[in-house]
Amino acid sequence: MTKDRYLTPLAASLPPTVPFVGPETLERQRGAPFDARLGANESVFGPSPNAVEAMKREAAESWKYGDSTSHDLRNAIAEYHGVKPENVIVGGGIDGLLGNLVRLTVTDGTPVVTSDGAYPTFNYHVVGFGGALHKVPYTADHEDPDRLLAKAKEVGAKLLYLCNPDNPMGTWHAPETIARTIDALPEGTLMLLDEAYADFMPPGSRLPERADDPRVIRFRTFSKAHGLAGARVGYAIGHPDLIATFERVRDHFGMTRVSQAGALAAIGDNEWLSSVIGQVSDARIALTRIAEEAGLKAIPSATNFVAIDCGRDGAFAASLLKALEKNGVFVRMPGVEPLSRCIRVSCGRPEDTECFAQALRRSLAELDALRNQ
């Protein structure tokens, strides 16, 4: 059999690579579990105990398909954000929703603009549907709205992707900057505003809801501050007409019962959310100090991770990453120069942070010894 015998020309052209290798895969390769799991910006603090209880209660009900409209969760999200349920679509994480939206809007050669080094899974979807990716560089470790706008105008972009606060650098823009960018969008360009990490932003720095603005669709998730990455629940907020189009392509019964129940309980537990945000803030301070003590530089972050500038090139950061892995700590790094001079470390509990600190010292010493051989 030729491998691509039945494939469409587009599918046959797609690379077999995947955006991310999971920590379980790495653990199987190295033959041992990690001592600290700080690579995927998961919330080591876990989900709200109410969410865990709700998921346990729902487990035995899993013989029933989940509610195909995620009715209760959708309504709770709408209430939480002060928007209408018609402004909200629930889906399988931001990944799943980005896939849906790209499928709805991108076909062969559709121009799409993003930043070089921004979320690879978005790029995976755009390439997967045949779109033409146009990437602009970061400016001073920030996604650059003006460059994105200029490129969108130049290529007549259908989509403009902006992640605020940014992943993988953790930097962010003020709400006025985002609002100004939306107002300056070229006719026919839709902004995808990925706000996966918005819960961690400093107070007052979040863009107010503008749910009925047809030029922007905003993505949020239960994977980060709510600690439910493994439950795959994300949502988008946008104009009701755009939100309604997801019905044409989404997997209607795709949301599990347990995940719907967990997310519903999570969004009702503000106390837990505040506590996680506080602990993340503590961890950011600790990671910044650890970086400084090691002679490295932490980049200010409004997320649950810190990008640490290792002061040299991508090859050095990659060898540090490998050494950290060997020393029991899972972290990741940006894939593109100049961001790839950094490693990206998720915020964890004090014991996780301490584990990282020790592994960092050991790994840097090992790399030093290698260099001096």
What DSSP letter does each residue of 295-306 carry, written as one string? T-EEPP-SSSEE
29 binds a second copy (CB under 8 A): no
The residue count of the chain comes to 373
Window 111-150: contact mask with a second copy (x via CB under 8 A): -----------------x----------------------
Stretch that binds a second copy, among 57-65, 168-176, 196-204, 288-296 (CB under 8 A): 57-65
Taking every pair of Cα atoms in the chain, the longest distance, rounded to a whole number of angstroms, is 64
Q: Which is nearer to a second copy, 24 or 146 (CB)?
A: 24
Q: How far is the CB of 370 from a second copy (least distance, A)?
A: 31
To 10 degrees, what angle do helices 257-267 and 49-59 make?
150
d(CA 146, CA 149): 5
What DSSP letter does each residue of 329-368 carry, written as one string? EE-B--SSTTGGGEEEEE---HHHHHHHHHHHHHHHHHHH
45 binds a second copy (CB under 8 A): yes
d(CA 281, CA 275): 10
32 binds a second copy (CB under 8 A): no
Q: How far is the CB of 281 from a second copy (least distance, A)?
A: 18
Among 77, 78, 87, 96, binds a second copy (CB under 8 A): 96
Cβ atoms of 224 and 43 within 8 Å: the answer is yes
d(CA 282, CA 306): 12
348 binds a second copy (CB under 8 A): no
Q: How far is the CB of 125 from a second copy (least distance, A)?
A: 9
Residues numbered 279 to 338 that lie near a second copy (CB under 8 A) are: none
Among 30, 56, 322, 326, binds a second copy (CB under 8 A): 56
Among 82, 230, 311, 350, binds a second copy (CB under 8 A): 230
β-bridge mates for residue 191, sequence order? 160, 216
Give residues with Cβ within 8 angstroms of 254, minimum separation 6. Answer: 66, 91, 92, 96
Closest CA to 211 of 90, 89, 100, 84: 84
Q: How far is the CB of 369 from a second copy (least distance, A)?
A: 33
Which residue carries 């400016």 as its tokens?
139
Q: How far is the CB of 357 from a second copy (least distance, A)?
A: 22
Q: How far is the CB of 142 from a second copy (least distance, A)?
A: 26
Residues numbered 231 to 290 that lie near a second copy (CB under 8 A) are: 231-232, 239, 241-242, 244-245, 247-249, 251-259, 262
Among 158, 220, 332, 344, binds a second copy (CB under 8 A): 158
d(CA 242, CA 252): 17
Q: Which is nearer to a second copy, 163 or 228 (CB)?
A: 228
Q: Which is nearer to a second copy, 13 or 270 (CB)?
A: 13
75 binds a second copy (CB under 8 A): no
Residues numbered 176 to 205 that lie near a second copy (CB under 8 A) are: 188, 190
